[in-house]
Amino acid sequence: MLEPFYTLTLLFKGRADAGYHGVIWEALPTLEILLNHLEGLMCTVPADKIVLRLYIQQAWEKLKKYYNRTDENYQIYAAATLLNPCLRKQYFYDYWTRGELPGYI
Where are the chain's structural domains? 32-104
Classify residue 22 by its DSSP letter.
Answer: -
Q: What is the pLDDT of residue 25?
A: 74
pLDDT of 104 above 90 = no
What pLDDT, on the 0 to 100 scale, is given for residue 34? Answer: 93
pLDDT in tens, 86-99: 788 888 888 778 77
- pTM for the full model? 0.71
Q: What is the tens place of the pLDDT at every residue in 4-60?
A: 988 888 877 765 555 555 567 777 788 889 999 999 999 999 989 999 999 999 999
pLDDT value for 16: 56
- Read off the DSSP letter of residue 71: G
More confident residue, 60 or 80: 60
Identify the band that residue 100 occupies on the pLDDT scale cut at 50, 70 and 90: confident
Distance CA 91, CA 44 (A): 27
Q: Is residue 74 a contact partner of residue 62, using CB atoms and an 8 Å limit?
A: no
CA dihedral over 82, 85, 87, 90, signed as positive or negative: positive
